[in-house]
Amino acid sequence: MIRTILTYPNPELKKKSVPITVINDSVRELIRDMAETMYDAPGVGLAAPQIGVHQRVIVIDISGKDEPPDLIVAINPVIVHAEGEAYEEEGCLSVPKYAANVRRHARVIVKALDPDGAEKTWKADDLLAIAFQHEIDHLDGILFVDHLSVLKRELFQRKARKAAEEGR
Ligand code: NI
């Protein structure tokens, strides 16, 4: 089922998510819904709090338009190692019509559980490394705009307020 994606400045996006203790049918249904919602949007990643569920699970698919889908599901993901620097443009399904460059690590190692409860490790670089950092941030209530400089963030907030007023 496609779920509604919450958008900035919805306060639900600022809440910290809790670890998943049991991978049961409702968690598997949540994951299916998240993947469906991400592909429908379309986006390259989605974290559970973006659909108002404060549990630590993310889905990512960075495969290109002409490539077969390559879905990553990470339950309770943890960045165990990070190195290098990246400064790439990011967007977010929860921050529509806005993109900005964000400082991230260029390479990360992520450990998580897969939907079968098996431990998985990803060595990620480039777009995948950025996607992991962006989605894991969501689990801690952090949006990519929170990483911007004070000046850039103020410009963004002004733009968002204006867009909200025009939408009324
Ligand atoms: Ni996002």
The per-residue pLDDT for range 83-139, each reduced to its tens digit, is 999 999 999 999 999 999 999 999 999 999 999 999 999 999 999 999 999 999 999
Catalytic residues: 135
Q: For residue 136, how far is its CA from the centre of ligand 1 (angstroms)?
A: 9
Q: For residue 112, how far is its CA from the centre of ligand 1 (angstroms)?
A: 19
Output the six-digit token pair for 75. 């339950």
The per-residue pLDDT for range 43-70, each reduced to its tens digit, is 999 999 999 999 999 999 999 888 999 9
Q: For residue 127, how far is its CA from the centre of ligand 1 (angstroms)?
A: 13
Q: Which amino acid is at 85?
A: E
Q: For residue 11, how far is its CA from the centre of ligand 1 (angstroms)?
A: 14
Q: Enter the pTM of the model.
A: 0.96
CB 99 within 8 A of CB 89: yes
Q: Where does 1-125 have alpha helices with state H?
A: 25-40
CB 130 within 8 A of CB 104: yes
Q: Which amino acid is at 65?
A: K
Q: For residue 86, how far is its CA from the centre of ligand 1 (angstroms)?
A: 17
- DSSP run (H or E) holding 74: strand 72-83
CB 124 within 8 A of CB 110: yes
Q: Walk me through the domains of the chain, giving residue ranges and CATH numbers.
A: 11-166 (3.90.45.10)
Band of pLDDT at residue 167, cut at 50, 70 and 90 = confident
